[in-house]
Amino acid sequence: MRSLPYFCRGEVVRGFGRGSKELGIPTANFPDSVVAQLPADIGTGIYYGWACVGSGRRHKMVTSIGWNPYYNNTHKSMETHVIHTFKEDFYGQVLSLVLVGYIRPERSFKSLDDLVTAIHSDIEAAKQKLEQPEHLKLKDDVFFQTAEPEVIMNGH
Ligand code: ADP
Ligand code: RBF
Ligand code: MG
């Protein structure tokens, strides 16, 4: 994918409220405007990278882009699980991301348990992959030094 690494940011909006939080995997959802701006080669699927809430610290993350086949959604969403335990929700705040690499396509599962197991293995994959020096470097990119919603940049 030519567009990787891909930098983007947007306000955290309410998602489907399916209780992903209760499963221990909350996902911060982006508005449609951010999803609409994705370049054509950033297709649906599961990605890993770095995330930053407001002007806070950078954390590892996993992002799901697509129609969530397990739920037969008709709406394309982009949602990020930040690999960090936050004290409070951050609806309305600006989330800045760099998508660094691709993990797998979206798929459907026989049960919710299987979906959750797959997400846990994505999280483990992200943690490992992001330790590579060329990926660690992106965490300190100048992009993360501002949280202005209008500053949308592409990686290169
Ligand atoms: P929704 O359907 O509204 O997206 P979720 O159950 O997916 O609800 O919860 C997402 C919300 O949880 C985020 O918008 C954010 O405010 C909060 N949150 C707390 N911790 C995290 C985290 N580690 N990663 C992503 N979101 C988190
Ligand atoms: N939904 C699917 O239907 N299929 C998937 O393969 C899938 N993979 C995901 C991987 C990650 C890392 C994350 C954070 C979410 C994934 N989801 C997937 C989305 C999941 O269904 C969604 O977070 C909940 O429905 C809450 O909106
Ligand atoms: Mg969500």
**Each residue's pLDDT tens digit, 67-108:** 887 777 778 899 999 999 999 999 999 999 999 999 999 999
Locate tokens 């930040």: which residue?
82
Backbone φ, ψ for residue 37 (5° rounding): -85, -5
* Average pLDDT of span 41-54: 97
Which pLDDT value is given to residue 93? 97
CA 64 to centroid of ligand 2, rounded, Å? 6
Is 106 noted as a catalytic residue in this protein? no
Token pair, residue 131, equals 């330790």
Cα first-last separation, the chain = 13
- Distance from C-alpha of 6 to C-alpha of 22, rounded to nearest angstrom: 30
Alpha carbon distances (Å) from 93 to 52, 76, 148:
10, 21, 11
Query: Which one is catalytic: 11, 79, 124, 150?
Result: 79
Supply the pLDDT for residue 150. 57
Nearest CA to ligand 2 atom 7: 106
Atom of ligand 2 nearest to the CA of 81: 14
- Fold (topology level) of 6-154: Elongation Factor Tu (Ef-tu); domain 3 (2.40.30)
Give backbone dihedrals phi and psi of 119, rounded to 5 degrees, phi first.
Answer: -65, -40
Chain centre distance of CA 33: 15
pLDDT number for residue 156: 36
- Nearest-CA residue for atom 17 of ligand 1: 89
Cα atoms found within 13 Å of the Cα of residue 102, Cβ hemisphere only: 13
Residues with Cβ–ion distance below 5 A, ligand 3: 15, 27, 29, 79
The DSSP output letter for 126 is H
Distances (CA, A) of 96 to 18, 58, 72, 116: 23, 9, 28, 25
Residue with tokens 């996902």, as numbered in its chain? 27
Q: 146 vs 48, which has greater pLDDT?
A: 48
Nearest CA to ligand 2 atom 10: 119
Q: What are phi and psi of 120, to 5 degrees?
A: -60, -35
Q: Which atom of ligand 1 is nearest to the CA of 14?
A: 3
